[in-house]
A = this chain, B = another copy of it.
Amino acid sequence: MKKGTFTSYFRRKQIIEVAAKTIAKQGFNNTSLEDIAANAGVSKGVISYHFANKYNLIRDMTATLMQQMNQFIKERVAESETNTEKLHNYIRASIEFFYEKRDHFLVIMDVGINHSAREESNPFSPFSYRLCRHEISEIILAGQKKGEFKVLPVEPLASNIQATIDGLGIQYIFTSDRKHLLECQKQMLALVDLALCNEKT
């Protein structure tokens, strides 16, 4: 397997996409390489040809999904001016990602949880990184510096916000209730404002 070629690049991308869809549909435990191959309309050997082993496929797939999610959110945050807007957009984008790419989030969770237990260095660390609320912390800190936000302990706050987002995502995985998700989001934004924002005079 040569990694550099164009064909290779697109095949890998295609396989990763099909793998995500298949895992979303069948669950990580219940998805074999053969299933993925079948869904991709290729032979079993193709998977092995492009990925050294299943582990690598899963790892690369997860990394890709994580990156897509992060980029989706970052772009939205970047569009904003004030830190209040940034935070709102972070939350909005995260939740929008859930219903636009429910499968992606499901797979990230599925794989992440499934590997969380391993003592060895978890290769799905991008996932845990997400949980480390780095992005949110930065926004809050900036907002506090500018006087937009009240001065609250930043790290717990970032964790709580990210936790709420993730928890809503999990609920959505189970219920697929879009309307309710949006109501939660609306309320969440209001609560964040209440808790964090200084009144504009």
Contact = CB atoms under 8 A, between A and B. Distances in A.
A113 interface: yes
A167 B156 CA distance: 12
Interface stretch (A4-12, A22-30, A78-86): A22-30
A27 B114 contact: yes
A115 B114 CA distance: 12
Interface string A144-181: 00000000110111011011111110110111000010
Query: How many copies of this protein are present in the complex?
Result: 4
A131 B174 contact: yes
Contacts of A164: 160, 163-164, 167
A194 interface: yes
Interface in A86-128: 106, 109-110, 112-118, 122, 127-128
Range class of the A interface residue count: 35 or more
Contact of A27 (B115, B132, B160): B115
Contacts of A42: none
Given A27-B118, A174-B127, A174-B128, A163 B160 contact: no
B187 A153 contact: yes
Chain A's interface: helix, strand, loop or mixed, by majority? helix
Contacts of A23: 117
A10 B180 CA distance: 42
Contacts of A112: 174
Contacts of A184: 156, 159-160, 163
A186 to B, nearest CB: 7
Contacts of A194: 194-195
Contact of A187 (B27, B157, B191): B157
28 contacts: A24-B117, A26-B117, A27-B117, A29-B29, A29-B114, A106-B117, A110-B113, A113-B173, A116-B173, A122-B174, A127-B174, A128-B174, A132-B175, A153-B183, A155-B180, A156-B180, A156-B186, A156-B187, A156-B188, A157-B187, A159-B171, A159-B184, A160-B164, A160-B184, A160-B191, A164-B164, A191-B191, A194-B195
